[in-house]
Amino acid sequence: MKKSILIAVYDMEIGGIERSLINMLESFNYDNYEVDLLIFNHTGDFLKLIPGQVNILPQVAQYSIFRKSIYQCVQEGHVSLALVRVLSKFMGNFKATFRRLEEDSGYMQMQLALKYASAFLPRVKKEYDVVISYAWPHDILAKKVKAHKKIAWIHTDYSKLEIDNKIDYRIWDRFDYIASVSQECTNSFLKMYPDLKKRIVLIENITSPEFIKKRAFDTVVFSNPENSFRILSVGRLSYVKGFDLAVKSLKILYDRGFTNIKWYVIGYGGYENELEELISQHNMQNSFILLGKKTNPYPYMKLCDIYVQPSRYEGKAVTVTEAKILGKPVLITNYPTAKSQINDGVDGFICKLSPEDLANSIESLYLDEDKRKSVVSNIKQVDYSNSEELEKLYAIIK
């Protein structure tokens, strides 16, 4: 008899976590496991990429409100939950001001809203052998689903996540296992929650080179004025992804005379207006180009000269591995988990987290084709398929 598994994620918008989930579902053993997918908000371009063997559960209206506006919650008839959101926003802003956070209070607001909304949320009726909460926050699967085993996933560097750790700990403590995508993610998590050490298992993001290479052959319009040197970055337009640093570094390169470099970014998010304003301030509108949301970034990766991840922090960036699969030289900033993805000078390059060092490293790669070819030669010797990582998950859920 097949074991029943429930996997939950907020939506299927384009992002690294969602892309890694698709890769995992593509590799899953459906002969032994019956998989239900609980998507809190049925939106996102990745919905169409979910394998047919997966049973997508109907949307539960109350689960979808935590990233919607308060006005939209009221419009949809969730008045009690809207009031909880108002209270959570006020409390979250107060805590963020008191703690002098670098970012806004969005994470804390989410935590508080889920904490106080629990009484108004319905339970999932079916009982499962295993439930997997694939993306933070994990409250709904912790509190509203019955299962013999519960697993929650870590995708980020917890030393950088600005949350209320006491509230967070109470949720993590409800799970039997905690899956971490890298040793560095594990280390940063355990600095915050050392008592949970025995529950952690390392399960890297599943990658499918065949799937990625096949989709890289799609036709795209990717301008190449005057045979320019093309840089590509992929990620949500947010503070943590460091695209503001990228704009400043490209300006430095232009001031040095490297006007043949064009930087393209695939992604969307709340930081778009700030980025556009910064691009305009530096007169880089024709050089630093926001391509917007793309379901398939792989043809762009295939056509770029180098792939750059200028992040302030990452868990384990899926796109970095994908760029290597497509044979591209990769440059990343030295965020805390960087060395889990790049062996500097061997399969890519790591630079300091500043516009100046980013510009210096790009200049070096631009001028030295042999340097680029050397890492490409190295990465072509590596098999990046790792579906065997799923065996670690199967061992847990037996």
In sequence order, the β-bridge partners of residue 231 are 263, 306
Length of the chain: 398
Tokens (6 digits) for 77: 């008839």
Note whether 3-208+388-397 and 211-379 share their fold.
yes
Over the stretch 180-197, which tens digit does the pLDDT of each residue have?
998 888 998 999 999 999
Can you tell me the distance from the alpha carbon of 206 to that of 296, in angstroms, rounded to the nearest whole number? 17
pTM over 0.85: no
Looking at residue 220, its pLDDT comes to 81
Residue 106 has pLDDT above 90, yes or no: no
Over the stretch 241-269, which tens digit does the pLDDT of each residue have?
999 999 999 999 999 999 999 999 999 98
Pick the residue with more confidence: 385 or 342? 342
211-379: CATH superfamily: Glycogen Phosphorylase B; (3.40.50.2000)
Over the stretch 345-398, which tens digit does the pLDDT of each residue have?
999 999 999 999 999 999 999 999 999 999 999 999 999 988 889 999 999 988
Can you tell me the distance from the alpha carbon of 204 to that of 390, in angstroms, rounded to the nearest whole number? 9
Which numeric CATH code is attached to 3-208+388-397?
3.40.50.2000
Over the stretch 120-133, which tens digit does the pLDDT of each residue have?
899 999 999 999 99
Q: What is the DSSP code string of 209-231?
A: HHHHHHHTTS------GGGPEEE
Query: In the chain, what are the domain boundaries?
Result: 3-208+388-397, 211-379
Three-state SS string over 248-271 comes to HHHHHHHHCCCCCEEEEEECCCCC
